[in-house]
Amino acid sequence: MEHPTKEQIGSVLIGIISLGFDRSLNALAEAGAIDTKKLREHYKGSGSKNYDLVTAQIELTAHYGAERIRSRFSSEN
């Protein structure tokens, strides 16, 4: 079995982390713990202030996670 690259792992992690963020945000809003009205004013897809801020942090986290996961594959050999 071929080991995945950091880029392949990172791509999968970005999707997983994004889904977790969206689900968590929605769950908090539904529970009344946060009001997302102001957030959503600037969270309207790529190029919007809050979306780009969140995306950058998700990408940094995925990059860090991909390196950690890839190192686990490397240490098995």
With 0-12 / 13-18 / 19 or more C-beta atoms within 10 angstroms meaning exposed / middle / buried, residue 2 is exposed
User: What mean pLDDT do residues 2-20 have?
Assistant: 92
pLDDT at 1 over 60: no
Rounded to the nearest 10°, the torsion over CA 21, 28, 45, 61 is: -20
Per-residue pLDDT tens digits for 13-23: 999 999 999 99
pLDDT at 50 over 90: no
User: What mean pLDDT do residues 34-54 have?
Assistant: 85
